Chain A
Amino acid sequence: EAQVTQNPRYLITVTGKKLTVTCSQNMNHEYMSWYRQDPGLGLRQIYYSMNVEVTDKGDVPEGYKVSRKEKRNFPLILESPSPNQTSLYFCASSPSGGRNTEAFFGQGTRLTVV
């Protein structure tokens, strides 16, 4: 089954404790991206990757890191999480360099930083 898998689905952590949210897709898509969703703000892009070893900032990259060592994986790293990073996070993938088609979304990760 074609899918984007995020883990964990729920995470509660403390300020400053490094964490990683994993994202994996089995559709051989070149383009992957991370979004955060906040009430009243919709979804905003954090980082994206056009292909292996090619990443770039989206609209709200501060406080986040990403890597793309393999085509299927695109982890989101919070080196020192802060309460303002409490949010719902989505990973998405699509073929053709991110254009010409719709994005496939993971199930979402609800992150709470206390």
Chain B
Amino acid sequence: EAGVTQSPTHLIKTRGQQATLRCSPISGHTSVYWYQQALGLGLQFLLWYDEGEERNRGNFPPRFSGRQFPNYSSELNVNALELEDSALYLCASSFRTGYNEQFFGPGTRLTVL
């Protein structure tokens, strides 16, 4: 069974540009979560989508946004990129019931120059 997939693997942008990251969950999972992990730091929760709706967001500015499509795949958009946005962006998926494990994709490494 295919795991969570993310694209692209690496993304290099310059300050002020926009970045779009994509995630496809495990088949049957309806919840998608986005996390930011800066080098040497822990996971910071960004966004949670379920059934096409944003259920919660972490403590990030509005220039971090996203959406979930009818097939449960998801997109994370980061506008007006700043140098400190350079990080590994991880997507995870789970069943909706809320007590289940999350499974992570390999991540997108975003570098902002």
Q: Do A and B bind each other?
A: no
Q: Spell out A's residues near B (CB within 8 Å).
A: none
